[in-house]
Amino acid sequence: MIEAEYVAPSNLGELFKSIEGRAERVKFVAGCTNVLPDLRAQNPAPMLLVDLTGIEELRRIEENNGVISIGSLATMTELAASEIIRTHGPILASAARALGNPLTRNRATIGGNIADASPAADTAPPLLALEATIHTEGASHAKREIPVEEFFIGPNQTVLNQGELITRITFPIPKDPSASSHIKFGLRNAMAISVVSVAVVLEMQGNLCHRARIALGSVAPKPIRAYLTEKELEGRKITEEVLESCAEVVKKEISPITDIRASAQYREHVTGVLLKRALWQAAREGENSTNGNI
């Protein structure tokens, strides 16, 4: 049986007032696409459910001085449709479109997807590749800015303290000329938990990859950046040969498990394949956007 007290604050001031002294019992809820099934399955201790959906200030998607800011309540549908995201973070729009089904996307929020911290969280690889920052606010208005690569600790574990809320997520607009790509690989075309997902952002200088940011989902206990692979790529031209060596290096950075969806061995193989495809797609996109200068 779920025993809970319920509050629905309409702004952050009200929110922190209502949870004062009770932070350890707080469960923040918005879209409820993870929370409700989890609670039904867990038979949890009595809690304080804090409904965030009335807090308008957490909804905004905006651009300020080269930084994109996404309120934690932005839904997948909103992200996928947002002109700002489609222009400056198309890999995030792509991941939002690939999550669940239309019903889920209408409810699921980016804050919830990150806070749930599934190793397969769809928005995590794009946010990692975009070097996003997670902005939080806790009791007595203590604010933190956490780089997304430090945010996840393990499966369903983050650095968030009890009663600490994700307010927004920011990322700098990638420097021009840049190119990006995102691939989610699941066992069906919708409503699938990814077997592997890849997001890459490349900053190009002429035909060289000046800087690479590569992120992967479902191949480690948490969504990860592939730093060694990035090093392998940086300063080089994107050729078949370079892609092959990236596909080899990336296997050293991941630690996939065997589960009902796939074996570790399969995930390892497909990570290489998808990485090559993502890099190739990004390089081709870069090529087009710089009129064939690569």
H helices then E strands: how many in the chain?
A: 12, 15
Structural tokens at position 193: 């938990």
266 binds other proteins (CB under 8 A): yes
DSSP character for 48? E
269 binds other proteins (CB under 8 A): yes
192 binds other proteins (CB under 8 A): yes
Torsions phi, psi for 112 (to 5 deg): -65, -40
- Sequence-ordered list of residues with C-beta below 8 angstroms from that of 188, at least 6 positions apart, any chain: none
Among 42, 43, 64, 65, which residue interacts with other proteins (rule: CB under 8 A)? Answer: 43
185 binds other proteins (CB under 8 A): yes
Instruction: Please report how close the Cβ of residue 261 comes to other proteins at its closest, in angstroms.
Output: 8
Torsions phi, psi for 30 (to 5 deg): -135, -85
Among 1, 65, 291, 292, which residue interacts with other proteins (rule: CB under 8 A)? Answer: 1
Question: What string marks each residue from 84 to 113 as x (binds other proteins by CB under 8 A) or -?
Answer: -----------------x------------
Question: What string marks each residue from 124 to 153 as x (binds other proteins by CB under 8 A) or -?
Answer: ------------------------------
85 contacts 70 by C-beta, under 8 angstroms: yes
280 binds other proteins (CB under 8 A): no
Structural tokens at position 283: 């390089």
DSSP character for 59? S
Among 162, 190, 206, 231, which residue interacts with other proteins (rule: CB under 8 A)? Answer: 190
Q: Which residues of 168-191 are buried (b: 16+ CB within 10 A; e: fewer)?
A: bbbbebbeebbbbbbbbbbeeeee
Binding site for other proteins (CB under 8 A): 1-2, 43, 101, 185, 187-193, 260, 262-263, 265-266, 269-270, 273-274
